[in-house]
Amino acid sequence: MTSPRIASLVPSATETLVALGLGHRLVARTGFCIHPAEVVATVAKVGGTKDVNLAKLRKLAPTHVIVNVDENRLETAEALRGFVPEVIVTHPSRPEDNLALFEQLRAAFADEPGVNERAAALSAEFNAALARCRERVWPGENVLYLIWRDPWMTVARDTYVSTLLVEVGWRTWPDVLGGEHGAGRYPALAGDEAWLRDIDRVLLSSEPYRFGAAHIAAAQALCPQARVQLVDGELLSWWGCRGAAGLDYLRTLREHAEA
């Protein structure tokens, strides 16, 4: 059987493939696939998640390409099907979807040594972290999770970030669903919405916009009654093998918020 030649166009998927023991099978990645650094440093870059260099990727002759509904363009996936034997489409949109993802990747690469065992271990680790979050009933808070500024942008309630935050009682606003894909999943704010006055906590993500201490005052002005804090966007938005660590980090954030 021919050994797989894997291209990952999704940072979370790249990290998860390495965790499954498939790092040596990676032949391509995006410039945003930066973890784990010591493994991906030797893997060819083929552009970004939205601007994949298809000509370069074709020359690398992948047998499998991992794409994501949120992060990659539909036309990219369609073009890949013209020269890639297997295009694997991922779309975790809530914490439990990590379990389906582990099974999806396990099934695709089950013949590779150790993949089945590592997938089982990742599932067990995730289930344990989810159980730790659900050991208690968390008091509800209204939260604004900001991912961009000029304009301010946040997350719809059916995104991975929003459904993750619900695990500790943090309800994101606005109260909208963004659908399966598209800009509606990450709504922009005018800044004068009436509900902003009722936000209890503003979370400033470290990605895709790198919020820092210099932005706290502007966020506070947006939601005068809220507590504003910086959070690790990778831990709260990267899925896959980072899902368990994200849940533990979220639980710690919530416990500190109550201290």
My answer on whether 5 and 83 are in the same domain is yes
Residue-number span of the structural domain to which 163 is assigned:
141-258
Residue 107 resides in a domain: no
My answer on whether 86 and 174 are in the same domain is no
For 217, how many CA atoms within 13 A lie in the half-sphere containing its CB? Answer: 1
Q: What are phi and psi of 215, to 5 degrees?
A: -100, -5
pTM for this predicted structure: 0.94
Residue 117 resides in a domain: no
The enclosing domain of 32 has a CATH number of 3.40.50.1980
* Number of structural domains found in the chain: 2
Residue 124 resides in a domain: no
The tens-digit pLDDT sequence of the chain (259 residues) is: 689 999 999 999 999 999 999 999 999 999 999 999 999 999 999 999 999 999 999 999 999 999 999 999 999 999 999 999 999 999 999 999 999 999 999 999 999 999 999 999 999 999 999 999 999 999 999 999 999 999 999 999 999 999 999 999 999 999 999 988 888 999 999 999 999 999 999 999 999 999 999 999 999 999 999 999 999 999 999 999 999 999 999 999 999 987 6
Residue 80 resides in a domain: yes
My answer on whether 60 and 169 are in the same domain is no
> Which of 29, 61, 91 is at the close of a domain?
91
And the tokens for 183? 């800009």
Residue 134 resides in a domain: no
